[in-house]
């Protein structure tokens, strides 16, 4: 909230990002400080020296987004929360370098674009997709196929916790677990230390 208020007189955080490249050392230094504080408050790291042809659209704000300083991003890109556009700097990696992303690219939440890949124009990258190969223009990238395993028995999805005895969450309160097979299974799970009787991990 403090960073938001400090950035407001400059118009937007994007204006502050541009000022980070100022030839005036004082303006550059203060801008980098403000820009870093704004990102810290938003759990993001969009390098001040990352290259954007135009201001991108952040539908949910600059939340949990990482963009490498060497990345180049085209105009009119839409970037949702928790996206990573990152470089690979390992000397022996095949895809050393940073992503180059074209114009009008739509990047869904949680997507990862890693290494020296080229993403064409008018591309859609689905939520949680991992991009590590070049993507041609007018393409859609999706994450792995959804796998469904249907069970014959009723699944017990209650949240169990140990507080001197096993309890589970039900209708806004914790209730003591009484089913013998459930208690036995939980006791054998190594979640609770048999010596101290405390939850581990």
Domain residue spans of the chain: 1-41, 44-141, 157-201
Closest Cα to residue 16, out of 25, 30, 5, 2? 30
Q: Identify the CATH assignment for 44-141 out of 2.160.10.10, 3.90.470.20, 3.40.50.150, 3.40.50.10470.
A: 2.160.10.10
What's the pLDDT at 62? 84
Structure tokens at 60: 């949910």
Residues 4-40 have pLDDT tens digits of 677 677 777 777 777 777 888 888 888 888 877 877 8
SS3 171: coil
CB atoms within 10 A of CB 190: 10
Task: Give the model's confidence band at 201: pLDDT under 50 very low, under 70 low, under 90 confident, else very high.
Answer: very low
What's the pLDDT at 185? 82
Tell me the pTM: 0.69
CA distance 72 to 50: 6
CA distances from 172 to 24, 176, 179 (A): 57, 13, 20
């Amino acid at each position: 909230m403090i960073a938001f208020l400090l950035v407001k007189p400059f118009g937007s955080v994007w204006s502050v990002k541009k000022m980070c490249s100022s030839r005036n050392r004082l303006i550059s230094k203060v801008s980098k400080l403000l820009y870093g504080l704004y990102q810290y408050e938003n759990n993001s790291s969009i390098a001040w020296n990352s290259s954007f042809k135009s201001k991108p659209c952040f539908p949910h704000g600059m939340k949990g987004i990482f963009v490498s300083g060497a990345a180049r991003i085209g105009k009119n890109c839409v970037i949702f929360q928790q996206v990573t556009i990152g470089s690979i700097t390992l000397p022996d990696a095949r895809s050393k370098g940073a992503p180059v992303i074209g114009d009008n690219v739509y990047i869904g939440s949680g997507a990862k674009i890693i290494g020296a890949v080229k993403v064409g124009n008018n591309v859609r990258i689905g939520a949680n997709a991992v991009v590590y190969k070049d993507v041609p223009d007018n393409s859609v990238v999706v994450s792995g196929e959804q796998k469904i395993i249907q069970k014959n028995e009723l699944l017990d999805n209650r949240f169990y916790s140990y507080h001197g005895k096993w309890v589970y969450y039900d209708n806004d309160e914790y209730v003591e677990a009484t089913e013998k097979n459930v208690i036995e299974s939980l006791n054998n799970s190594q979640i609770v230390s048999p010596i101290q009787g405390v939850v581990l991990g």
